Amino acid sequence: MTLPHIAIDGPVASGKSTVAMLVARRLNLLYVDTGAMYRAVALAALHDGVELQDGDALAALAQHHRIDLEPLADARGYAVRLDGEDVTARLFGGAVTAAVSTVAAQPQVRRLLVQRQREIAAQRAVVMAGRDIGSVVLPDAPFKIFLTASVEERVRRRLAELRAAGRAIDAATLREDVERRDRADTERADSPLLPAPGALVLDSSTLQASDVAARIVSWVTSSTAAES
């Protein structure tokens, strides 16, 4: 049986995490933010002093530490536990954000996390957000969305988020960071960020997350109703 998985991919600050969480709540599915899994490995590497380019050592680290995503009814929609400790607040700070694209470019790390993501999706229907969900992790997902937005809009959103969290950063530095991460994600050899074949490409530059989520929910419910 093919579970009605929903795969949502897109670049930094395209709104995919918020949209995925809203869709999961509306349809009562499990929300899995795969970026948080890569961030947890990056956090563990920084903590244990593992070289960020050493794919074998990183994969050993990811195997040795336990990473759990726990669904929550808060604004983010989940907590991440590293060896049982809630590390969610530390995953989105500057140090992990600077390290994570190097960690995520290592094929050994990707192989391991992709396998874990497939194991989660084999248990129940999910809304899974990331960069390679429709293309690599769940290529048979019946609903694939590639969510994008202009660089200007993505920088504006991320700036507002950081300022709301009390973090001072200027727009030019943030734009450089977003562009650097876009390049790292789209130019890496293993599973570069690309719309999966058959994905619905949505530009959210002028849309609210709630509008994008409503479109996806209506696509899923109308297709499911048409089939039954």
Residues forming contacts to ligand DC in the complex (CB under 6 A) are 12, 34-35, 38-39, 100-101, 104, 130-132, 181, 185
**Minimum CB–partner distance for residue 114 and ligand DC (Å):** 8
Closest CA to 145 of 212, 46, 222, 65: 212
DSSP 36-65: HHHHHHHHHHHHHT--TT-HHHHHHHHHHS
Closest CA to 24 of 47, 4, 46: 4
Give 132 or 153: the residue with its C-beta nearer to ligand DC.
Answer: 132
Q: How far apart are the first and last CA of the chain?
A: 15
Give 12 or 145: the residue with its C-beta nearer to ligand DC.
Answer: 12
Task: Give the list of residues 6+ apart from residue 227 with CB closer than 8 angstroms, or none.
Answer: none
Closest CA to 132 of 13, 27, 29, 10: 10
**Minimum CB–partner distance for residue 59 and ligand DC (Å):** 15
Give 127 or 222: the residue with its C-beta nearer to ligand DC.
Answer: 127
Give 94 or 223: the residue with its C-beta nearer to ligand DC.
Answer: 94
**Minimum CB–partner distance for residue 134 and ligand DC (Å):** 10
User: What is the sign, positive or negative, of the torsion defined by CA atoms of 94, 96, 97, 102?
Assistant: positive
Give 86 or 221: the residue with its C-beta nearer to ligand DC.
Answer: 86
Q: What three-state secondary structure class fits 70? A: strand
Separation of alpha carbons 108 and 226, rounded Å: 41
**Minimum CB–partner distance for residue 221 and ligand DC (Å):** 26
**Minimum CB–partner distance for residue 224 and ligand DC (Å):** 25
Separation of alpha carbons 219 and 53, rounded Å: 41
**Minimum CB–partner distance for residue 145 and ligand DC (Å):** 14
Give 36 or 216: the residue with its C-beta nearer to ligand DC.
Answer: 36
